[in-house]
Structures are given as structure tokens and as C-alpha cells.
Amino acid sequence: MLFTIPAMLIAERYGYKRTMVVFMLGASLAVLNVFAMGSSIAAPVVTGLLADLTGTLAYGFFFGGVVVLLGTLFILFGAR
């Protein structure tokens, strides 16, 4: 109930189309936050696992670089 009051006020003030943009932005930021926090939990685990298996932390950094590269490619080519 508490979250519907600002939604009603925004809809009344700016109209339906502007309201949908605001809610889509909020949903997008929520999804981004879930993946960002999930990766901040998973990254040390994966890096530690790779360090235990290989004996060096270098592969953890390589893995992080590959993840960043794949994310960049997805943003450039996949989000159309």
C-alpha cells in the first residue's frame, strides 16, 4: 500500500506515458541491483575456487576480465 501512493501521485501529475517510463526505469534498476549484488557474492567464491585449483590468483583475474568483456559485447550487440 505504501508503494502505491507515490505511483498514484506520479500518474496523476505526469500522466500514464510518463509514469510507465518511471516504473520501467525502477524495474531496470532493480534487476541491475540484483545481478550486481549477486556477482559481488559469487566473484570471491569463483576466484577462490580458481585459486585453489590452479595455485595462483591470476586465473581469477582472467575470469573477471572475460566476464567484463562478455558484458560489454552484450551491451553493444545484444541489447537491440
pLDDT at 1 over 50: no
The domain segmentation of the chain, as residue ranges, is 4-78
Model pTM above 0.75: no
Mean pLDDT of the region 51-70: 93
Torsion of CA 79, 72, 58, 46, to 10 degrees: -30
pLDDT by residue (tens digit) across 33-58?
A: 888 888 889 999 999 999 999 999 99
Neighbours of 50 (CB within 10 A): 19
